[in-house]
Amino acid sequence: MPRLSPADPVDAGWRGTLSRLTAMKVAERYGPGHRILVTGGAGFVPSHLVDALIARGCAVVALDNFVTGSKENVAHLLDTPTFTLVEADISDGLPAHPALSERFDAILHMASPASPTDFEKLPVEILRVGSVATLALLERATADGARFLMASTSEAYGDPKEHPQRETYWGNVNPIGIRSVYDEAKRFSEAATMAYRRSRGLDTAIVRIFNTYGPRMRPDDGRAIPTFISQALRGAPITVHGSGNQTRSICYVADLVRGILLLLDSGEAGPVNCGTEHEMSMRQLAETIVSLCDSSSEVTYVTRSADDPEMRRPDLTLARELLGYEPTVTPDEGLRRTIEYFRERLG
């Protein structure tokens, strides 16, 4: 069993998480002897997914261009024989590399800048990884006969008029707004994935990921939780956008990874929502973080970002029925683990 980063409180619990999978209705499909490609593998969520796959005994190739990912997230795996890290931009095509020359059993397309600040700084890169890279990976999966899992997003629902959001809801998306590069890139990726499934008979899956948090988030990535925690630990004002009444359901990364693995193993196509139904307002989230950090920070309010959704909460009925998925980490527990990670990282 590879060692996990001592700075990562997320999960020495991988063993417990993985053992719980066997109690679910989905049998473990990928393990020793299987080769898995994870794009964006040094990023926040994908690096935890890599940990879980390595813990299963899979041979994992993580591909990352380090635009938003960090080698630090997978540094603890670099000496693991079943792990290979390849630095490359998948939007330029799969590079010539020995680790990429052999067939893969599954390809998990997790790569994409995903924070609000990225939408402004990296718009073309986001569009390319959602389009050019997705098509290249679908071609590779077809050639390999691999299962292809596409990491989509709750952003596909835009600013939803249906609440909670079911997979059958088509969304309410501004196609030319500041967030549109991410929303539409993911919607294109979903369409491409389904096109390959229908026309090429490719074994595919789509997971729609809702707001996720945990260790390995970038402190400066612009999302609410890392921003609030960083501010609270410094004793700086907590900057809530708008009135703070807008809501999100926040999912701890270990729960999300468990859901992704269940979908990967299941053979189901989706799309399937993955997240948690525990919904809270941004004001409540800020106040909770201030309290858990034992901080003197005051909550302040700034101009709300354009196209910021009013509410987000997944309907998890399909995930429960198809996968037996149930998130288990409470917001307080997950936030405490995340705060501890940031406390160590920020000194």
Q: What's the Rg (C-alpha) of the chain? A: 19
- Compute the 3-state secondary structure of the chain and give helix, strand, coil in percent, each to the nearest 5: 40, 15, 40
157 is catalytic: no
Q: Cα 337 to the chain's mean position, in Å?
A: 17
Catalytic residue among 157, 182, 196, 252: 182
Rounded to whole angstroms, how far apart are CA atoms 291 and 287? 6
Strand partners, 301: 240
Rounded to whole angstroms, how far apart are CA atoms 246 and 166? 19
| Residue 203, token pair as written in the block | 């074994």
Q: Cα 29 to the chain's mean position, in Å?
A: 21
Q: Checking phi first, is residue 345 left (phi over 0); if not, alpha (psi -120 to 50) or beta?
A: alpha
| Residue 23, token pair as written in the block | 């109690």
- List the alpha helices (DSSP H) in the chain: 14-21, 44-56, 116-121, 123-130, 132-144, 180-200, 224-234, 253-266, 282-292, 317-323, 331-346
Contact 231, 238 (CB under 8 A): yes
Contact 109, 151 (CB under 8 A): yes
Q: Cα 73 to the chain's mean position, in Å?
A: 14
Bond preceding residue 271 cis, omega within 30 of 0 = yes
Rounded to whole angstroms, how far apart are CA atoms 170 and 25? 29
Backbone angles phi, psi at 59, to 5 degrees: -90, 120
Catalytic residue numbers read: 182
